[in-house]
Chains A and B, each alone.
Chain A
């Protein structure tokens, strides 16, 4: 069975500082990995994904994520946080083929960026 862990319920960071939101996963075979952001009272918005190739993936709003196969991690990063980045972030994994149709989501990490 596939699974996703986001070990931190909340991450606090000062504006202008780098941020990291952690995600580890478990899946059979090579994974498809995703990050989503959710603002209050909104649906989930797609940020970026890893399919294959370069381990560093760049996405929307200056976010990037690094795929680390040996550590089964896919941490979300941004060099300089903005107050407007404050939101709920979800990591997700999906088996590429022959696996479950169902994507598995982490429980979410609340990012709070302080002015």
Chain B
């Protein structure tokens, strides 16, 4: 089974802190994604990466950055946490488009971040 592991399930951070959310997948997937989920807003894409060291902005990249130095790991960084970044963060991975098995997207369990 594919496993996408988010290292922290619940975090409480102070305003202005630098926050790292880590995500690791064990299926050698090229594509990895970071989403933010808020009530009534669905899933919003923050950043995605289609291969090592490659990254592109999603719909709401402001206040975030990412790092992908190794294929299995995709990190989300909040440069200076603010209260409006309190949310559920979801990491996902998948094979690339055109993959014969249909490029199913697999999600981690999520990281609840509270910024106080």
Contacts and interface: CB of A to CB of B under 8 A. Distances in A.
Q: Do A and B bind each other?
A: yes
A32 B33 CA distance: 18
A41 B112 contact: yes
Contacts of B96: 101
A103 B41 contact: no
A20 to B, nearest CB: 20
Interface residues of B, number: 29
| Best-surrounded residue of A32, A43, A49, A92 (most CB of chain B within 10 A) | A43
B98 A97 contact: yes
Contacts of B63: none
27 contacts: A32-B102, A34-B104, A36-B107, A41-B112, A42-B110, A43-B90, A43-B108, A44-B90, A46-B106, A90-B42, A90-B43, A95-B97, A96-B102, A96-B103, A97-B97, A97-B98, A98-B97, A98-B98, A99-B97, A100-B97, A101-B31, A101-B48, A101-B50, A101-B97, A103-B33, A105-B43, A107-B41
A105 B42 contact: yes
